[in-house]
């Protein structure tokens, strides 16, 4: 089963660390990153989809994606 997550955050080093951590845990980049202006906070925000293969595990909507 292929698991999908969409990571988001402010455009700062913490977001880069979040993506790097996911990659180090076996997640792979999926598609291009996104970049948008958040008018409410007046800051730029980033997003990156990541996927990971979870073999021999049925989907459970109550399970956290990071626990697969």
The pTM score is 0.84
Q: Do the Cβ atoms of 18 and 7 come closer than 8 Å?
A: yes
pLDDT tens across the length of the chain (68 residues): 999 999 999 999 999 999 999 999 999 999 999 999 999 999 999 999 999 998 888 899 999 988 88
Amino acid 65: pLDDT = 86
Closest CA to 6 of 47, 64, 52: 47
- Rounded to whole angstroms, the Cα distance separating 30 from 3 reads 11
Domain boundaries, the chain: 2-55
The radius of gyration of the chain from alpha carbons, rounded to an integer in Å, stands at 14
């Amino acid at each position: 089963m292929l698991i999908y997550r969409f990571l988001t955050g402010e455009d700062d080093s913490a977001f880069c660390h979040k993506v790097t951590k996911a990659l180090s845990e076996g997640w792979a980049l999926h598609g291009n990153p996104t970049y948008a202006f958040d008018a409410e906070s007046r800051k730029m925000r980033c997003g990156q989809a990541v996927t990971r293969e979870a073999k021999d595990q049925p989907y459970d909507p109550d399970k956290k994606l990071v626990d697969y």
